[in-house]
Structure 1
């Protein structure tokens, strides 16, 4: 009798999990839209919710074991959360889009919090309250800079504060023939004085090694200051500091009287306007840009926009002069700005391909635009072949404009869906087709919902860091399936397994395998490897069910109730933490109804069992 029950548990475990390799097989031939994907995941989640309620929690209630079930549920939920966190830290977050996005955001928040805790050089940040800290953390952007890349040049506008995460940065002094006067390392901040005063940079900052930095855009910080009495008081104290007085004299050539007058003017501005000192000495040449906006070519971001929209855009541009021979950017540098030529000539060339001809651009042509839009690295170098004047659109200004100008938002969404973007990602950034399409869909969805366009380089680099991801993904999915296998085996000892539970597990496993397999394929895994992973998970589910039956043969009903509660708690937590967020991320508003249909489907199987 015992052998028969163990074998039955194994078979039922296999049946409930056979949809795992079936989903992986389907992924080779069918890649549904995000909306369909979300609906299927939600349907499976709803079916599993019904199955858990009817066939795992209700029997224990029938035995009068509420407190045992509740204790098991809490323990199961906590256990899942702890193990899930461990698995995610080793790359298991890649098994779902939602867990990938959440993990990357959480990692960035943790890293920034660690950096901020070491910023003793910036006293005014000590005035931040918890909510203000969170708001500032959301403004921060992480960027990688190769060795030799400048962060800002002499007289550049002070549009951001920089914090070193990794690598070394050298500050050069234009007053001393560009001699290095300071080397900055991890957790050091630079550009601080210009950032707070609004004066143009009086030094030059260059990456001495490959470096990663956090960037705080000044525009976002200015809004925080305006809404924070604590920051306003801290800024007031700083404006009256000796440090600022010396800086204005040494770096901006002010006399003592001029420095005092400037400080008095800024203190008055702060008290009256409740705002940071405004940026000074920035040329924009707005009228000229408005006149030629419809003639801009190569990347028609600004074409056919209304005069009002163009006027707003012009107010966010910086107008700069580049002498002949001056480099705009080098190949492989991160694209954090786009250029529009007003007058002059620019040559685009690939320094690694001596046989490639350079491309010459002239008036009203954009360059650096595709890498700028996709948040990737430049695939060519750009050099002025004549004295050239350009408008520069910085990345953080572009993000502001997307929120302020609906016309521009729609225009960018249309451009991102053009074949040119997919081709660029495949040929120049070496994305496979599936990954390119996935990035485009995510970017368009982000624009539609008012979020930032994801940086292609950043997402790719985060994924490359997870070298143990295949094993971690496998462990993550195994973690999702362990509770169901144990409860199948244990439950057989006391009552027949309901068709609703088997159907719920089957229906939830299929979309899990289908869409995780698509994601694994986009990470570069072979179909054979993916198939073996899912098949092994099916076998482990059957073995787990058999072991659950074997271990609990002589167990007290109390123990069975605790196990059922443990499994239910773990599975409910998994549904809420991974399945439904994944569904909503992909499918949006259709998810609620799809979850209801899945719930009703499980009830239907219960009614006929």
Structure 2
């Protein structure tokens, strides 16, 4: 063949490659663009829990169908059972391990589910230290080891400053307190009654009787307090006869000496709740957020989207500008970014940083999709199958550890219907290409 005829062929081939690479980039941008949309909405408005749950469940169902029909089936045809099973398992292991490492570096704020998981694990580690710290408490020492750790896991830390009103006479009781350190004075009206120190407790009488607090407690020095809310107090009291006995002895001595000084934290001093986190976790989360690295949050956000963007890029030649997988990624990214952005906002991260984070993730997803396209073009069928299997396992791990649990927590059992509808939608879109 003459050189003059070969040159146009090469040029056309290069143009085709460039066009597909650009297509992969744009598809990556398109799939991730809903993250930017979710972040924009979150900085100005918070949608209802049911809405978030429904969209998240719908996206989860669509992703599951797309994974089964567009990833798992392709891997099985190209690489066989071993590649399918091994790749998916490896992808899941890598995702969970790296996700845990990123959380420990401060990236746990990128998603509410990651935030809750990190807070729970952090509290479990602290419970052992807290048991030792409160060992001088008569009530804590009266409990068996297992019940000590159970109680410690339910306590919420609170730092009080001098002259801070911890409890106010006449208010309804919602909390029971352990004093870990510091001192506080007890007043009946304007009359000084007693001084509380490390190891003392207060607030339990009002929770037991339902009567208003009978005294006011004011911090004298900086204090470390640990509070237990009414619901958890009732639950653990019904399960622990040792705690009931210890409290009875404490109350008997107190009544005998006429120093009944129960009180409550006033409304302005209560620890608020970060939805959708569990009761009492916001204070801990805000404290942890101060040490979280913005770069870790960024890396964590990109990490969560790498498997999806890679698959989008590798599928560019197969389903250009179509396919259930691209549709599912777009749908699933929206509620995740929306809820994550709101959680970051509540943790004190500025709107500017939130928007920069998500818009940067959108652009990065496009670049990752181009990398995926390059692997699909330059690699062997076996290499592509392995890469797709690992990515598929990572996406399934993400669904199981974040999206699906959060959808259920926000919407309850009703999310099953949205998940089924999403799965059917993904199946029908994928089936239309076969």
Q: Normalising by structure 2, what TM-score?
A: 0.72
Which of structure 1's runs of 4+ aligned residues deviate more than 6 A?
Answer: 148-152, 205-208, 216-221
Is contact 1:50-1:602 (8 Å) kept?
yes
1:371 to 240, 250, 268: 268
1:221 shift after superposition? 6.3
Q: Which runs of 5+ in 2 are unaligned?
A: 1-12, 168-174, 186-191, 205-216
Secondary structure of residue in 2 paired with 1:190: coil
CA distance in 2, matches of 1:209, 1:277: 28
Map 1:321-336 → 2, pairs under 5 A: none
2:251 to 275, 279, 282: 279
Change (3 A) 1:504 1:206: same
Change (3 A) 1:121 1:220: farther
Paired position in structure 2 for 1:42 = 57
Map 1:235-250 → 2, pairs under 5 A: none
Q: Does 1:502 align with 2:344?
A: no
Is contact 2:183-2:223 (8 Å) kept?
no
Deviations 1:534-589 (A, max 9, x none): 22211111111111232454433333222212111111111111112222232223
Q: Does 1:459 align with 2:386?
A: no
Paired position in structure 1 for 2:212 = none
Change (3 A) 1:225 1:516: closer
1:20 to 35, 51, 54: 35
1:591 shift after superposition? 1.1
Change (3 A) 1:572 1:117: farther
Q: Normalising by structure 1, what TM-score?
A: 0.53
Is contact 1:483-1:568 (8 Å) kept?
yes
Paired position in structure 2 for 1:337 = 264
Change (3 A) 1:125 1:77: farther
Is contact 2:49-2:411 (8 Å) kept?
yes
Change (3 A) 1:527 1:161: closer
CA distance in 2, matches of 1:72, 1:542: 24
1:135 shift after superposition? 3.1
Change (3 A) 1:137 1:70: farther
Is contact 1:142-1:212 (8 Å) kept?
yes
Q: Which runs of 5+ in 1 are unaligned?
A: 153-158, 173-177, 179-183, 196-204, 236-269, 285-317, 322-327, 329-335, 339-367, 377-437
- Pick the structure with more helix per residue: 2
Give the aligned length.
386
Paired position in structure 1 for 2:335 = 511
Paired position in structure 2 for 1:574 = 398
CA distance in 1, matches of 2:18, 2:404: 38
Paired position in structure 1 for 2:360 = 536
CA distance in 2, matches of 1:119, 1:519: 32
Is contact 1:9-1:545 (8 Å) kept?
yes
Change (3 A) 1:461 1:120: closer
Paired position in structure 1 for 2:311 = 487
Which structure has the larger Rg over C-alpha atoms? 1
Map 1:100-499 → 2, pairs under 5 A: 100-116=115-131, 127-129=144-146, 132=147, 135-147=150-162, 162=178, 164=180, 169=182, 190-191=199-200, 210-214=222-226, 223-226=238-241, 277=249, 279-280=251-252, 337=264, 368=266, 370-371=267-268, 374-375=270-271, 442=275, 454-455=279-280, 459-460=282-283, 462-463=285-286, 465-467=288-290, 468=292, 470-492=294-316, 495-496=318-319, 499=323
Higher relative contact order by CA 8 Å / sep ≥ 6: 1 or 2? 2
1:30 shift after superposition? 5.3
